[in-house]
Chains A and B, each alone.
Chain A
């Protein structure tokens, strides 16, 4: 399967948070986002192993609303791009 098609169909296990579909659950594998925002993300509960669901994106497609640990959070796509997810996961 050509690389870009595999990516589009989600055949790769490793995706980043911004690539989830609306309503889809996945589990955090690693938080690679750098800078000051990193600490905030981790402290808000985005730690390896945590389950996250993408709820929806704002009308311009960014930022996005996610659900984790029983509550809702909004983060920007740029920050979500650094959060590596692995398949499966649930509340």
Chain B
């Protein structure tokens, strides 16, 4: 038998850990059609059978208001997996069971995996799983996703549900008023069910079973009834009710509201139905002998938080953590690792290639392509792998431990002024490391509007690859105040970000204050396995990109630098296509102080990788090494021009890898172009202002 199983659960419930534990390394990672939400699928052995496990987005409820909720609901309704595996965090049972209740309402075969039950029991908590299963109407299996225990029981429950599906619904557990209203509405509805695919009109059906135009399976009547009782207008209009039906339903809803208002004056349908679900959960938990864990764990977590979110200590602690992260990444450790890799590539691989070419007697252009194109280009990017992994190591640990949520908590107020929430804080900080990874990190931002705005702003946080450029110019022109000059650039980047945020807020991102309602999970020890897996995924991703996009770009740049417009191989780059191109853009860059074609070309090659600005200048000015280049630069730049050049480098569009990653995460070409336009405009305007105003003083 080939089973299809959907994995559903709250964020932070251990869903990803369980998915990885069940499926191992054989995962297919993609996106849900039409949106940028990650979709993971994998095959795994379940007893003698094979199963396809689909990881649904982490959601708190099934109401169709966020993309993630819509995806989850549409997948369950249209693709009709054989079994829904609902992972539930036993340390946060009451809130987690809210989603379980809604999944029960959908009447699809359900298995509840009670994660972290071992932790609850260690801390003196208890729940009778057999009793809970009976009360809920779905098998409840205690597991530990982290320790991989309880999987045998989980498998037999899944197989049993698949062979003999059983879901008595959730409504039977709700209070008498709710049950009565549901029954009346179900009878009024008769066969009426939502037509078409109203929950996912913006999505195409994902995967098997529901091609475009396939008839939508009808959701259970009780599920529709509860939506109507919540007062969901979109649910009303999707049903195409007759006048008589509408009248009956309105009467039932009215009676339900009146009954509810006798207890809670002024309450509405939404709060009444949610209250009915939570009341049912409380009753079920009480009857199944649930005793929560002792407060010890919470108390430790609370103690940590008293320091971490302390009125005066919070900011210094945060800065210290960030300082440690950057010191490790860009300090001796990270630089040493990168340097080692660089040595291996340049002196190892490079020398080997040179000898091989000499032995084979290959023509000069092939040697040039391999050495100056591929090895310099791809190698120049690959050397950043250790530093990127270092940043990710820190960020993974911070995330798994629960500190990220605290950073969002303490920074929310400051970010609100820019129309963002605390959730955007971490991806932005990651931008100081690498824009490409920061943009991927923006996935943690729940809401699409905020996520897009965060991605658009991240490039203004000066990334690590720009440091070599600053270092070069600061050493050549501002020997006495090097640190200050570099610091001023970082601050200028943040200022530009703030300005752009305000502009975006007034233009492209006008609508809506984003709701900021965020869970603060207790602090936990990060799982080394999870961290290692994430690092490996990053490394694989990065190397794949280096082998494809960067490889292709490097060859193109080499070609432009080595061939003349009439396609002859040239060694003097001034006569190359690049030289001609540089001559064309030089007049445009003259007002900002870069009339020299070589400066324009250096900036152009920086679009492949920011470090390439330095290496290109080195080649074009024919300097043997960095030291010689530092000595030569004052002949070509004034100090003012040098500063303007650094500002331009700081603000202009990020490297190709970052742009590709932005395109993927934004899910929109238009927004990607908006970002490129924004950076180009900001860079030109700032460099122009600095150069022209500066000339008045330093002429």
Residue ranges of A at the interface with B (Cβ–Cβ < 8 Å): 29-31, 35-45, 47-50, 55-56, 58-63, 65, 69-76, 79
Cβ proximity bits B406-430 to A, threshold 8 Å, 1 near / 0 not: 0011101110100000100000000
Which residue of the partner chain B has the closest CB to A91? Answer: B292
Chain-A contact segment, one of B329-337, B512-520, B628-636: B512-520
Q: Is B94 an interface residue (CB 8 A)?
A: yes
CB-defined contacts of A45 to chain B, threshold 8 Å: 94-95, 98, 278
CB-defined contacts of A59 to chain B, threshold 8 Å: 309-312, 314-315, 410
A72 touches B413 (CB 8 A): no
Q: Is B525 an interface residue (CB 8 A)?
A: no
Pick from A36, A43, A70: contact of B60, CB below 8 A: A43
A48 touches B413 (CB 8 A): no
B519 touches A79 (CB 8 A): no
Give A73 to B520 CA distance when docked, in angstroms. 5
Contact A79 B98, CB 8 Å, known A42-B274, A49-B264, A74-B409 = no
B60 touches A44 (CB 8 A): yes
Contact A38 B517, CB 8 Å, known A30-B264, A58-B409, A62-B413 = no
Given contacts A58-B314, A65-B409, 19 further A-B contacts (CB under 8 A): A30-B264, A35-B515, A39-B270, A43-B63, A43-B98, A44-B60, A45-B94, A45-B278, A47-B278, A48-B264, A48-B271, A49-B275, A58-B413, A59-B312, A60-B413, A63-B412, A70-B95, A71-B95, A75-B516
Pick from B270, B314, B414, B416: contact of A42, CB below 8 A: B270
Residue ranges of B at the interface with A (Cβ–Cβ < 8 Å): 60-61, 63, 65, 92-95, 98, 263-267, 270-271, 274-275, 278, 292, 302, 305-306, 309-312, 314-315, 405, 408-410, 412-414, 416, 422, 512-513, 515-522
Give A60 to B417 CA distance when docked, in angstroms. 13
Which residue of the partner chain A has the closest CB to B61? Answer: A43
Give A39 to B296 CA distance when docked, in angstroms. 32
A56 touches B309 (CB 8 A): yes
CB-defined contacts of A44 to chain B, threshold 8 Å: 60, 95, 517
Give A71 to B266 CA distance when docked, in angstroms. 27
Which residue of the partner chain A has the closest CB to B311? Answer: A59
CB-defined contacts of A40 to chain B, threshold 8 Å: 60, 515, 517
Give A72 to B315 CA distance when docked, in angstroms. 21
The 18 sampled A-B contact pairs (Cβ below 8 Å) are A36-B512, A39-B65, A40-B517, A44-B60, A44-B95, A44-B517, A58-B410, A59-B309, A59-B311, A60-B413, A60-B414, A65-B309, A69-B95, A74-B409, A74-B516, A74-B519, A74-B520, A79-B515
CB-defined contacts of B512 to chain A, threshold 8 Å: 36
A43 touches B274 (CB 8 A): yes
Give A50 to B65 CA distance when docked, in angstroms. 24
Q: Output the residue of B263, B274, B516 with the most chain A CB within 10 A.
A: B274
Give A55 to B696 CA distance when docked, in angstroms. 57
Give A44 to B606 CA distance when docked, in angstroms. 47
Give A49 to B93 CA distance when docked, in angstroms. 18
CB-defined contacts of A76 to chain B, threshold 8 Å: 412, 416, 516
Which residue of the partner chain A has the closest CB to B66? Answer: A40
Q: Closest CB-CB distance, B217 to chain A, in whole Å?
A: 25
B275 touches A48 (CB 8 A): yes
A70 touches B275 (CB 8 A): no
Which residue of the partner chain B has the closest CB to A42? Answer: B274
A69 touches B278 (CB 8 A): yes
Pick from A50, A65, A75: contact of B278, CB below 8 A: A50
CB-defined contacts of B92 to chain A, threshold 8 Å: 70-71
A37 touches B413 (CB 8 A): no
CB-defined contacts of B416 to chain A, threshold 8 Å: 76
3 nearest A-B residue pairs (beta carbon): A37-B515, A60-B413, A72-B520
CB-defined contacts of A65 to chain B, threshold 8 Å: 305, 309, 409, 520
B412 touches A58 (CB 8 A): yes
CB-defined contacts of A72 to chain B, threshold 8 Å: 519-522
Which residue of the partner chain B has the closest CB to A47? Answer: B275
Which residue of the partner chain A has the closest CB to B268? Answer: A31
Give A55 to B315 CA distance when docked, in angstroms. 19
Which residue of the partner chain A has the closest CB to B265? Answer: A30
A39 touches B311 (CB 8 A): no
Contact A74 B413, CB 8 Å, known A44-B60, A49-B264 = no
Q: Closest CB-CB distance, B285 to chain A, in whole Å?
A: 10
Which residue of the partner chain B has the closest CB to A41? Answer: B517
B519 touches A63 (CB 8 A): no
A48 touches B267 (CB 8 A): yes
Give A26 to B314 CA distance when docked, in angstroms. 27
Give A91 to B311 CA distance when docked, in angstroms. 26
Q: Closest CB-CB distance, A72 to chain B, in whole Å?
A: 4
Give A64 to B416 CA distance when docked, in angstroms. 14
Pick from A47, A60, A62, A74: contact of B274, CB below 8 A: A47
Give A35 to B511 CA distance when docked, in angstroms. 13
Give A63 to B513 CA distance when docked, in angstroms. 14
Which residue of the partner chain B has the closest CB to A66? Answer: B520
CB-defined contacts of A75 to chain B, threshold 8 Å: 516-517
Give A30 to B65 CA distance when docked, in angstroms. 22
CB-defined contacts of B521 to chain A, threshold 8 Å: 72
Q: Closest CB-CB distance, B449 to chain A, in whole Å?
A: 11
Q: Closest CB-CB distance, B14 to chain A, in whole Å?
A: 15
A47 touches B271 (CB 8 A): yes
B271 touches A63 (CB 8 A): no
Pick from A42, A60, A74, A79: contact of B271, CB below 8 A: A42
CB-defined contacts of B61 to chain A, threshold 8 Å: 43
Give A72 to B311 CA distance when docked, in angstroms. 19
CB-defined contacts of A62 to chain B, threshold 8 Å: 412-413
Which residue of the partner chain B has the closest CB to A69? Answer: B94
Give A29 to B63 CA distance when docked, in angstroms. 23
Contact A73 B409, CB 8 Å, known A30-B266, A47-B278 = no
Give A39 to B414 CA distance when docked, in angstroms. 25
Give A27 to B546 CA distance when docked, in angstroms. 56
Give A45 to B520 CA distance when docked, in angstroms. 14
Q: Closest CB-CB distance, B151 to chain A, in whole Å?
A: 26
CB-defined contacts of B305 to chain A, threshold 8 Å: 56, 65
Give A69 to B95 CA distance when docked, in angstroms. 7
CB-defined contacts of B60 to chain A, threshold 8 Å: 40, 43-44
Which residue of the partner chain B has the closest CB to A77? Answer: B413
Give A44 to B517 CA distance when docked, in angstroms. 9
Give A49 to B275 CA distance when docked, in angstroms. 8
B515 touches A36 (CB 8 A): yes
Q: Closest CB-CB distance, B121 to chain A, in whole Å?
A: 16
Give A73 to B519 CA distance when docked, in angstroms. 4
Give A39 to B270 CA distance when docked, in angstroms. 7
Give A60 to B314 CA distance when docked, in angstroms. 11
Give A70 to B295 CA distance when docked, in angstroms. 10
A31 touches B271 (CB 8 A): yes
Q: Closest CB-CB distance, A21 to chain B, in whole Å?
A: 15
Give A43 to B464 CA distance when docked, in angstroms. 42
CB-defined contacts of A56 to chain B, threshold 8 Å: 305-306, 309
Q: Output the residue of B60, B310, B413, B521 with the most chain A CB within 10 A.
A: B413
Give A61 to B410 CA distance when docked, in angstroms. 9
Q: Closest CB-CB distance, B300 to chain A, in whole Å?
A: 14
Give A48 to B520 CA distance when docked, in angstroms. 22
